[in-house]
Each structure stands twice: as C-alpha cells, then as structure tokens.
Chain A
C-alpha cells in the first residue's frame, strides 16, 4: 500500500498518530508522553476490536463490548510499565493515561458512529435512486451501528469522568500546570477528530445535494420520456392498422421531442407560432395529412391575428382535402405585415374551374381576412400547385 492509499483508507488513525507525535513534541513532557500513549492505545484497541468483530461475523455489539473493556485495560497495561516513578505514583500515571485513552477512544467512536449515521441517512434519503437501490436491511444496520458506536463513545466519556472522579488525586492530581495542557490538548484532539468529521459531513452533504439534483434531473427526464415518447410508442403500436394516424403520432412526437431536446420553450398558444402549430396538429389529425411548418419571427395573438389563424386553418383543410402532399406552411411575422403561405403540390386549378364547394371555403378564407383588415390571395395554376397567401398588416406602435 502506498502512503497515499494508506492516508485515504485510514485518515483518522494516521491523523491521530500524527497528532500524538505533535503533542508529544510540543509539550515534550510527561503529559505529552501520556497522551501519545493514550492515542496509540485507543487506536490499537479499536482496530483490534474491529478485527475481533469481523472474526465474530460482524457482531457489532460484541465488538463494542470488546472496545469498552479493552480500552481502559489496554490503557492501564500500557501505562503501568511506562512509568519510572515510584510504585505509588504508577497508579496515578496509569489512571492519567487511561483517562486520556478513554477520551481519545470516545472521540474516535463518536466520529465513526456519526459518519455511519450520516452515510445511512444518505442511503435512506440521499437520492430516490439510491434509496431504491439500497438494501433496506443494510441501511437499518448501518444506522443501528452508527447509534451504537456513538452511544459507546458516550459511555467511554462517562467512564473517563468516573475514573477521574474516583482516582486518588482526581483531576487536581494532574497538577495545576497540567490543567491548561489537558484542556488545550483535548481541544486539539477534538478539533482534529471533529474537523474531519465536519468536513466529511459537508462533503457528503454536497455530494448528496449533487446526487439529488442529478436524480431529480433523471426523474424529470424519465417522467418526460414516459409521458411523451413511451405513451406515443404505445399508441403507435395500437394504431398500426392505421398508418396515417400512426405516422401523425410519430411526427408530432418527433417535433415535441426535438423542441424539448433543443431546450426550446414549448410553443405558446397565445403566440402566432404556437397557435399555428395547434392548427397544424388539428388538421393533421382531422384529415390525415402531413404538414410542414416554418415560422419566421413571432408575435402575440390578438383578435385580428386570431382571424388570421382561423383563415389559415380553413386554407389548410382546403389543401388537405383537395390538394396534394406535401403541404407546407410558412409564416413570416417579422415585418410590418404578417404573411402566411399555405402551399400544396396538388394539381392546381384556374379560378374559372373552382368547384362550387371549394369556392365556399375560399370565401370563408377571404371573408375572414377582410374582417381582420387583411387580404387573402389564392394563387393556383395547373401543374404548379396551389398557394393561399394570407396577409395581415400589423398595427403600428403609435396606433396609426
């Protein structure tokens, strides 16, 4: 294992060892030695407990019991031979080391347990997909483990306080000049252990958020595809007996998917392009034809533009009934006059030969445009198709 991997895998123990060394150097005295021993013992004891836990097939409670027993015992065992002091003082040194070990171990357990709780929360409600894919039992186990570890850490703190209380010299026995060192070292230990924990929580939180956002996007995409493409595919499969209808469904879906992929806003029916699109869809559905539409520019629909759109609908129906495919609509709405060209490739006709019923439709178109203050021209010649041109002057801004 490279040192980088080691740091990645065991950040807390390594950091603790580094801290132990640092404190040792900094205080360069009795207390530093005691604390360093405490840190090392706590880490070794916890590592041993984890190994034992694994040997006992992941029995967490057993592991914690081992830690609770082993930590103070190991602290004592490590401290007793360490001291060069007279026999009476050895117990005092041992109790100091044990107290420090307990606190260090408590901090480690609280950190590990807290991290488990955070991780289990992430599994539980981190992302909808994670919560779907996560095994429910493993989540519950992780949460239980986290709580147990935190509880064990708390117990160790209590144990430490008890030892201090019953120790022959108590806290005062550590010596007046020690108090500051103890407090500072304690803060340093907690800082080094708590800071990574807080950082971990922050990082995990950010990752959670990102994952949640990503999952949300996925859900939006999934929901959209479900409501649109999948529905259409299902519809198409059921309409295979009606190729015209199936093809209409496919083309409408294609158009919608393109708009969505391109991030274009859905067309608004209160604007010309959207209103025209609705009309195109309507005529395509009603008469089973293909209509290609392009719109240059756009503007809101008012009552006059509404008449224009109605006239366009009539012209499209006319083309669909009597003309030939393809039918093409070009709307030009970026100039002083809005123009809609509706063209089919039908046989074309001369005005003299207009059938009576077609004349009626034509009148409806021309009449509407006249009412709107515009004009309609039917441009048809044999062999050149038919084109209906609708023109509507836009009101100028100052109302002239």
Chain B
C-alpha cells in the first residue's frame, strides 16, 4: 500500500450510504469531509481541498452537474468520481460531460471503489463497461455529422467496445497491440469529445444522439 492516503470528500444526500462508504474507505483513504447537498459540497471542498470528490449524481440543490460547474479551475481543482444508483444514460453522460473523470455504480465492491478512487486521483478515466456502453450508444445512434466532436474514430470505438466487453486497459493494450498509455489517451479523447460539446444543452445533445426519445431529432 502506498504511503500516501488519498484525501477524499464524500458528497451524497444519504447519510447511511456516506457512513457505509466511509467505513469501506477508512483503511485506504483519508475522508476529509462529507456533504449532503450542492452548497455544502462546495463549502467543504473549498475548505478541505481534497484530491478526489466522490460525488453522487442526484443531489439536492442542482445535482452533481451544479457542483462540477462551480469547482475551481486550475491545478487545485479536485478530481471527481461520479457515483450513482442511476443507470439513466443522460444522467451519467451528463456528469461525465460536466467534467467528472469517471463513473461507478453504488453497488461497486469496496476494493474496486478504492481502486477507482486511486485511478481518479492519478487523473486516469474510470471507464467501466456500463459507461462505455452508454457512450457507445450515444455516439452510435447519431447521424453522420461533419463535426469531429460528434464522431468517434474507429480506434476510439474499438477501445470503447473492449471496455464495454469488460476488458481492462492493459488487456485492451495487449489485444490491440498498443501501449496502455495510448488506450488511456483514446479514452481521454472520448471524454474530451463529450465534455467539449458541453456548450450544448444536455437535452439537446441527448436528443441529437438518440439517448432521449427524439432519436430522429435533427441537431
């Protein structure tokens, strides 16, 4: 175990869930703060300057996106791992677009959560199979578009497909005969494409990409 303990703030409106996560992380991480809504989260984060925020997608006061929008920019900006019971694609893709580095479901096992937090601190996207499938679905359903931001390169799609099939970065690197760094950079590129298009309204984006009902909507 590394000597450094990642400093984590847990933001979730369910006290029981916070207590559970705190217990699971106690050995590996330093929990420097907890918050249960958007305003409290911003206060706690400003005070404690954590490495990683474990952020529930559904929060009173504007949701995870409101927190992500208000976080300070620059080197002091904490990295965010989104955590949710939701499996609604627009919720999940929404927080990723707003700047979360990864997404895990609340059913994740303790050791895996610790691992995901470590990776988030390193700045590595935590891209589980489910999130990969959402993103693929979002990009696949879309009509051909001239904007490169709206398209995945064949390589990015291949990497995402492997993630959705359940392969880890290293395994993907071996299968595609590229370096793990390159896999990471492909995933990072997909994240940026999602985030850079954030000037659009979420619903607009989602509709255009067929996540919402209006799969035939023109954008």
Contact = CB atoms under 8 A, between A and B. Distances in A.
B164 A330 contact: yes
B134 to A, nearest CB: 9
Interface stretch (A220-228, A290-298, A303-311): A290-298
A384 B161 contact: no
B133 A297 contact: no
Nearest to A259: B87
Contacts of A124: none
Interface in B136-170: 136-137, 140-141, 161, 164-167
A292 B130 contact: yes
Contacts of B197: none
Contacts of A278: none
Interface in B37-86: none
A296 B164 CA distance: 10
Given A294-B164, A296-B137, A296-B140, A258 B87 contact: yes
Nearest to B88: A262
B11 to A, nearest CB: 23
B180 interface: no
A96 interface: no
Interface residues of B, number: 16
B165 A387 contact: yes
Given A341-B165, A343-B165, A384-B174, A330 B140 contact: no
B179 to A, nearest CB: 17
A345 B112 CA distance: 15
B129 interface: yes
B182 interface: no
B34 to A, nearest CB: 26
A384 B171 contact: yes
A334 B140 contact: yes
B130 A294 contact: yes
B166 A328 contact: yes
Nearest to B89: A262
A326 interface: yes
Nearest to B174: A384
Contacts, number: 39
A349 to B, nearest CB: 16
Nearest to A332: B161
Contacts of A262: 87-88
A343 B174 CA distance: 16
Contacts of B164: 294, 296, 330
A100 B161 CA distance: 87
Query: Which secondary structure characterizes the binding site on chain B?
Result: helix
Nearest to B128: A292
Given A262-B88, A330-B129, A297 B140 contact: yes
Interface string A93-131: 000000000000000000000000000000000000000
B206 to A, nearest CB: 14
Interface in A319-358: 326, 328, 330, 332, 334, 341, 343, 345
Contacts of A258: 87
| Most A Cβ at <10 Å: residue of B141, B165, B167 | B165
A43 B137 CA distance: 71
B166 A343 contact: yes
Interface in B111-142: 129-130, 133, 136-137, 140-141
A234 to B, nearest CB: 22
A296 B136 contact: yes
B109 to A, nearest CB: 10
| Most B Cβ at <10 Å: residue of A297, A330, A385, A387 | A330
A347 to B, nearest CB: 14
B166 A326 contact: yes
A149 to B, nearest CB: 51
Contacts of A384: 171, 174
A343 B141 CA distance: 24
B166 A345 contact: yes
A294 B129 CA distance: 9
B130 to A, nearest CB: 7
B212 to A, nearest CB: 12
Contacts of A328: 129, 165-166
30 contacts: A258-B87, A262-B88, A292-B129, A294-B129, A294-B130, A294-B133, A294-B164, A296-B136, A296-B137, A296-B140, A296-B164, A297-B140, A326-B166, A328-B165, A330-B133, A330-B161, A330-B165, A330-B166, A332-B161, A334-B140, A334-B141, A341-B165, A343-B165, A343-B166, A343-B167, A345-B166, A384-B174, A385-B166, A385-B171, A387-B165
Interface of A: 258, 262, 292, 294, 296-297, 326, 328, 330, 332, 334, 341, 343, 345, 384-385, 387
Interface of B: 87-88, 129-130, 133, 136-137, 140-141, 161, 164-167, 171, 174
Smallest CB-CB A-B distances: 6 pairs: A294-B133, A328-B166, A341-B165, A343-B166, A330-B165, A330-B164
